[in-house]
Amino acid sequence: MRLVREAPDHVVSGRFARVMDLSDEGDDVYVGPTSPDRGQRIYGGQLVAQSLGAAQRTVSADRRVHSIHSSFLQSGDAARPVEYRVDRLRDGRSFSQRQVVAIQDGSEVMRSLLSFQVDEEGLEWQPELGAVLAPPTNAVPYTDYDDFTESMLAPDQRPWPGRDRPIDVRCVNPPTAPEGQPITEPQLKWMRVQGPLGDDLALHDAGLAYLSDTGMTATMPLPHGRRWNDEHLGLASLDHAIWFHRRARADEWLHHEQRVETTSQGRALARARFHDVDGHLVATCLQEGLMRRRG
């Protein structure tokens, strides 16, 4: 089935483009701007997106990213820039592979393997969508992700630092059930990067990478009736993978379906799928997170 399309009503902001404005230090080394977040830790989606931006600068324009596999090694300081060192692993006739190491103050915070491919024709198939889904409108805006997240914080912890990220996220079915009640249904959201990104396809791919980390660890404790801000639960991202299936504009609404696949051994695995407003599956994500009891 097809998703319902509505013309965008967004105002130009350019904030995401500034996040991706990496400085070239030479020898395939780039430095990313500091995080717009007001929190202490760098948002994982920013590390993934900036790593992609650094790798994109080392491949020819005819090659588009089709997969990213990132391992988070330690948390980064949101107030300090990150250096990205690119290693050109291979350039073949159709594929190019890169390794990017994200370094802050001399320590690795993330390491990524990225693969790029020349566009080519191929067989097309995807599972049919089970329902018609409408993107946010003025009449049906859904629940603002920032507002909902902030509502879960104690007054002295507000405002939520993630409000400053250059993205627009709306929750279709936010987890409003009382704490202690398991939530196993998929979490549905609509997402887009704020402000038109123009026709730079590489920037749109980076925008999708930036969006892809939104809410992943927060979903992991839901089947246990727990929430991401539970003081007796420790959550942290361990690794993050993205497969890009089809081209998509990150400045237009993308439907995001997220579910927990399993939890065990103090870890949890979450999966997410992105569809555009026409119902095309454009990307799939997997993230494993640490989920430990405290005390």
Output the domain CATH number for residue 158: 2.40.160.210
> For residue 137, what are the domain limits?
15-119+133-293
Instruction: Using alpha carbons, list the distances in angstroms from residue 110 to 15, 41, 58, 114, 237.
Output: 23, 13, 19, 13, 11
Mean pLDDT of 265-275: 97
**Is the pLDDT reported for residue 3 higher than 50?**
no
More confident residue, 7 or 32: 32
* 249 domain residue, yes or no: yes
Query: Running DSSP on this structure, what letter comes out for residue 10?
Result: P
Contact in structure between 46 and 84 (CB atoms under 8 Å) = no
* 218 domain residue, yes or no: yes
Instruction: Using alpha carbons, list the distances in angstroms from residue 256 to 100, 208, 213, 251, 253.
Output: 27, 11, 11, 14, 9
Cα(153)–Cα(286) distance, integer angstroms: 27
> The pTM is what?
0.94
Percent of the chain with pLDDT over 90: 81
Please give the helix or strand (H or E) that residue 99 lies within, else none.
strand 95-104
Q: What is the model's pLDDT at position 199? A: 92
* 110 domain residue, yes or no: yes
Cα(148)–Cα(161) distance, integer angstroms: 13
Mean pLDDT of 63-74: 98
Longest dimension (CA), the chain: 56
Q: What is the pLDDT of residues 199-242, one digit of tens each?
A: 999 999 999 999 999 999 999 999 999 988 788 888 999 999 99
The catalytic residue among 50, 104, 212, 287 is 287
Mean pLDDT of 102-128: 96
* 210 domain residue, yes or no: yes
**Is the pLDDT reported for residue 93 higher than 50?**
yes
Q: Omega before 182 cis (within 30°)?
A: no
The catalytic residue among 168, 213, 239, 276 is 213
**Is the pLDDT reported for residue 6 higher than 70?**
no
Q: What is the pLDDT of residues 131-154, one digit of tens each?
A: 767 999 999 999 999 999 999 888
Domains of the chain: total: 1
Tokens of 111: 């390491």
* 9 domain residue, yes or no: no
Q: What is the model's pLDDT at position 227? A: 86
* 40 domain residue, yes or no: yes
* 60 domain residue, yes or no: yes
Average pLDDT across the chain, whole number: 92
Cα angle value 170/203/69 (rounded, 5°): 80
Tell me whether residue 180 is exposed, middle or buried, using C-beta atoms within 10 angstroms of its C-beta: 0 to 12, 13 to 18, 19 or more.
exposed
The catalytic residue among 237, 239, 258, 276 is 237
Please indicate whether residue 213 is annotated as part of the active site. yes
Contact in structure between 4 and 132 (CB atoms under 8 Å) = yes
Q: What is the model's pLDDT at position 295? A: 67
* 217 domain residue, yes or no: yes
Please indicate whether residue 70 is annotated as part of the active site. no
